[in-house]
């Protein structure tokens, strides 16, 4: 068995002893660790020849070997890490140019197709990959099935991974080197495209326009272009309207044109919504209600909290879920879930389990992460990871905008930094095709109880109004003046401070706009069960 260069060097210098099978059976530990570290940097990260820098066969083998030898669940997680490292979109395949030889390319494509659910079985294993590749109707046979089977056997042989060293450290190095190789390939392809464009006497601006997308004029929009249907075609098709999924809060749905659209709908999301309130009013509770409502409609929903830990978020979500799915004598309050009374633990656990089962029956799913001290870059990466693992994710909630840390390279000015943060969130929403609901804090004016006599303004969002500029809709929530201040029975004003689209509701067959703009709605909160008790939003349509 051929050993990696840095391993062979260590053997030649007497630092390692290797048997005939290529397995390390003894070593001088301290010296070897030093030699391996130096050799990896010198010979791998900074190769001395062009041939070495272009050869990533070892790294490809490490990736495939680690994935094939891992349990199916772990294999999917590892493959997800590879896709994220290469910036592959949730609906795209790993570039076939990543693999340097046909056998690896065939295997890489099969693993990726299995990961994306293009086979009946989604199990990433030796047997399933060989079986899928050998199917007579498989049109992606790059090599003969017998060669495919042999490369799989080699990579899953006992001790195959050990020949490359520690699987954890080698995995990270392999991803890094493959990513760099991919960047070099893209750079070279770009240079070649530019060169070809210049040879054809085509302006460079045209080439850039081609790579970044072409603007369409009114004729293109109406009649279509490049074989794609235009607006008139869609109107004439008269396709049936798709019902959006409700958040469970009619006031919120009103400015979302009914809610969030499911996967497969023509509308692909990419909107950003801002919900602002002072501390203690109930932003997180409204967010939990929206997340549970969307999941009840069968959607996959992400929830990222930069302020509370995961247990706090899940407690609110499950309390809300019991109120949403269970009979009213089988709810579980936030307090009961945190600290069940004497003899009540089993009963509370049963109520939560019942709500969880009903949520799963709906096909919805909730994903929660609580990265303490996260900045906007971390949040963006978490959203990309969630989308890569759950391609059908349609919405996510960020709690909250002002709790995020200053990101690397942020402008010195606080307002400019928050503006940069807002645009990054808007960009990732469009990139992933998801609707983002971002919670935000109010400034002192917004928190002043005297201001409750007047309609709140967008300038009352703390620090910057940039978040409101990029938002499809902005909601400002505050306690209703003169209302009952008891947390169990508190009334809130839900102000529709901005909506970029129309206010509309689903009338059973299609979306219909409201007769008049609704400026404010009233919500009665059930804080004990982390939800909205009643919503008086009028259902007035044209």
172-202 as b/e, with b when 16 or more CB fall inside 10 Å? ebbbebbbebbeeeeeeeeeeeeeebeeeee
Residue 204 located in a structural domain: no
Q: What is the dihedral of CA 238, 239, 241, 245, to 10 degrees?
A: -160
User: Which of 184, 204, 238 is where one domain is finished?
Assistant: 184
Lowest mean pLDDT among 37-41, 118-122, 521-525: 37-41
482 CB-near residues (< 8 Å, 6+ apart)? none
Residue 412 located in a structural domain: yes
pTM value is 0.61
Residue 483 located in a structural domain: yes
Residue 17 located in a structural domain: yes
Do the Cβ atoms of 64 and 170 come closer than 8 Å? Answer: no
Residue 443 located in a structural domain: yes
354 CB-near residues (< 8 Å, 6+ apart)? 322, 325, 326, 330
For the residues 96-110, what does the mean pLDDT come to?
A: 87
Residue 319 located in a structural domain: no
The answer to whether residues 180 and 254 belong to one domain is: no
Residue 431 located in a structural domain: yes
Residue 99 has pLDDT above 80, yes or no: yes
Q: What is the pLDDT of residues 31-58, one digit of tens each?
A: 645 555 555 444 444 444 433 445 688 8
The answer to whether residues 268 and 159 belong to one domain is: no
The answer to whether residues 441 and 298 belong to one domain is: yes
Question: pLDDT category, 207, cuts 50, 70, 90?
Answer: very low
- Find the radius of gyration of the CA atoms of the chain: 28
For position 426, which CATH number holds? 3.40.50.300
Residue 45's domain spans which residues? Answer: 5-184
User: Which of 140, 156, 184 is where one domain is finished?
Assistant: 184
User: Which of 184, 210, 235 is where one domain is finished?
Assistant: 184
Total domains present in the chain: 2
Can you tell me the distance from the alpha carbon of 8 to that of 416, in angstroms, rounded to the nearest whole number?
53
pLDDT, residue 283, reads: 93
Residue 106 has pLDDT above 50, yes or no: yes
* Closest C-alpha among 302, 483, 307 to residue 385: 302
Query: Which residues on adjacent β-strands are paired with residue 305?
Result: 399
Lowest mean pLDDT among 236-250, 334-348, 518-532: 236-250
The answer to whether residues 177 and 288 belong to one domain is: no
The answer to whether residues 151 and 263 belong to one domain is: no
Can you tell me the distance from the alpha carbon of 143 to that of 70, in angstroms, rounded to the nearest whole number?
24
pLDDT, residue 468, reads: 85
Question: pLDDT category, 233, cuts 50, 70, 90?
Answer: low
For the residues 317-332, what does the mean pLDDT come to?
A: 93
Do the Cβ atoms of 314 and 298 come closer than 8 Å? Answer: no
């Amino acid at each position: 068995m051929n050993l990696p260069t840095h391993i062979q060097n260590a053997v030649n210098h007497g630092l390692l002893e290797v048997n005939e099978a290529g397995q390390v059976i003894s070593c001088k530990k301290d010296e070897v660790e030093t030699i391996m570290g130096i050799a990896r940097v010198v010979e791998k990260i900074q190769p001395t020849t062009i041939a070495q820098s272009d050869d990533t066969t070892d790294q490809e083998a490490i990736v495939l070997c680690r994935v094939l030898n891992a349990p199916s669940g772990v294999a999917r997680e590892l493959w997800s890490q590879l896709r994220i490292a290469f910036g592959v979109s949730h609906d795209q395949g790993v570039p076939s140019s990543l693999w340097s030889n046909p056998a690896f390319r065939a295997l890489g494509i099969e693993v990726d197709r299995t990961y994306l659910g293009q086979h009946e079985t989604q199990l990433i294993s030796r047997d399933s990959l060989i079986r899928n590749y050998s199917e007579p109707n498989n049109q992606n046979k790059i090599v003969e099935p017998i060669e495919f089977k042999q490369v799989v056997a080699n990579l899953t042989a006992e001790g195959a991974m050990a020949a490359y060293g520690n699987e954890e450290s080698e995995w990270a190095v392999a991803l890094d080197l493959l990513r760099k190789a991919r960047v070099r390939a893209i750079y070279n392809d770009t240079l070649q495209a530019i060169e070809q464009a210049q040879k054809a006497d085509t302006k460079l601006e045209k080439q850039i326009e081609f790579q970044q997308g072409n603007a369409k004029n009114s004729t293109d929009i109406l009649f279509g272009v490049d074989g794609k249907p235009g607006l008139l075609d869609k109107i004439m098709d008269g396709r049936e309207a798709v019902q959006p999924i409700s958040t469970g809060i009619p006031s919120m749905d009103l400015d979302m044109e009914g809610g969030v659209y499911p996967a497969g709908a023509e509308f692909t999301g990419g909107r950003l919504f801002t919900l602002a309130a002072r501390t203690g009013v109930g932003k997180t509770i409204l967010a939990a209600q929206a997340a549970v409502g969307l999941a009840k409609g069968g959607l996959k929903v992400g929830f990222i909290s930069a302020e509370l830990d995961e247990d706090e978020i899940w407690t609110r979500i499950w309390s809300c879920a019991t109120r949403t799915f269970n009979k009213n004598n089988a709810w579980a309050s936030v307090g009961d879930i945190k600290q069940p009374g004497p003899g009540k633990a089993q009963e509370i656990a049963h109520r939560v389990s019942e709500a969880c089962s009903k949520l799963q029956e709906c096909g919805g799913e909730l994903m929660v992460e609580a990265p303490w001290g996260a900045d906007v870059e971390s949040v963006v990466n978490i959203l990309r990871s969630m989308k890569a693992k759950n391609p059908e994710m349609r919405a996510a909630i960020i709690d909250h905008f002002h709790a995020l840390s200053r990101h690397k390279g942020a402008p010195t000015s606080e307002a400019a930094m928050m503006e940069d943060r807002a645009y990054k969130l808007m960009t990732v929403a469009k990139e992933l095709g998801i609707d983002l609901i971002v919670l935000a804090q109010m400034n002192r004016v917004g928190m002043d109880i005297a201001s409750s006599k007047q309609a709140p303004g967008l300038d009352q969002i703390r620090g910057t109004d940039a978040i409101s500029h990029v938002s499809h809709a902005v909601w400002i929530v505050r306690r209703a003046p003169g209302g009952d201040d008891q947390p169990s029975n508190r009334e809130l004003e839900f102000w529709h401070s901005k909506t970029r689209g129309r206010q509309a509701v689903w009338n059973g067959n299609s979306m219909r706009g409201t007769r008049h703009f609704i400026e404010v709605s009233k919500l009665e909160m059930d804080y004990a069960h982390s939800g909205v008790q009643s919503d008086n939003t009028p259902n007035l349509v044209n």
